Structure 1
């Protein structure tokens, strides 16, 4: 009898464990910001900013100073760089913006690489049947080329850039997150980013946000208002499961 009870208890424990492990993953789609979230693009973006600043006779800025300027698009990043080195006007910004884009187009992926653990996290999501998307304020053409260079473009269900939907429809608007969900076939989504643009866009679309402490933060990560914070991509799957 004791052996039978022990056997039945073991079966019960195994059954409960199997039920837990077989529970469906809580999200159908996980979207990612690009710069400062999925990829560390800071070296190449800083080089482009400093190339443009040099054309105006300005001193270069360190990468650490440029990181918080990233996230709102190239023009916004350059504008902040100019303000940090003596100020600007629209004519100068227009001229240097073209110079920055030209330099960046020729030097997109020299230093750029996925953040540690990013590829493994994408593998884990795809093993769970989750669709992966990118929503970025980077110009779509640049984003696609960078993602192709690092071998991630073919993994995506969709890729939405800052110019994909037209003026006024990039993050922090809800539009690109809603488009991500539609283009990925619908379902429950979460969004991972490193800026207030990312969190605001996710929340405007009714989607939970996860903030990356390792990103190009413009402010303390705790102030972004995300539902969860991760210190490394190893934390992503557990964070998503808790949000579910």
Structure 2
């Protein structure tokens, strides 16, 4: 595969931070470095990779608390999320204190992302999908050649993201999953923000919240 990955759960919430890299150039990115930055950097070094980017799906603390440290300490470029999540990023310090996390700092990405954008990593290209619902500015990263998506907290094996946080929206979340994620194809594997990987086809067939059978009886006003 032209793109490789490792999953490193971080923080007490066991959030799946993905280390991804281009096999042709050894250029790497960390997707959602929510914490434990030293351990993540050790994983990069162990592979002999060159860390050049941080990619952020959304602004919740378990996905974004380590971003500022990497941005300043490693000189990496930060891309994402969508600007509608700026209020979550600005709230990182008080929210970290509220949940008993180590101190977290807000950050400003070098590039906000939107539907239809793309991100490069070495010789690889990741497509950006804006998938609101869990948060208003949530994005997903999709590597089409390897049929791999990094979906943050939009979709999980057997479940979906919460929509009861500020500016969350259940109907938007279902539309994001059904209209944008499932459209990528049943064979696509995805790395969720928490828990084991799955495929979009498996979730479309059997997920109790968003499968074909589940949405047949659902009203989305």
Q: TM-score, normalised by structure 2?
A: 0.32
With a CA cutoff of 8 Å and minimum separation of 6, indicate the structure with the bigger relative contact order: 1
Whichever structure has more strand as a proportion of its residues is 2
Q: TM-score, normalised by structure 1?
A: 0.30
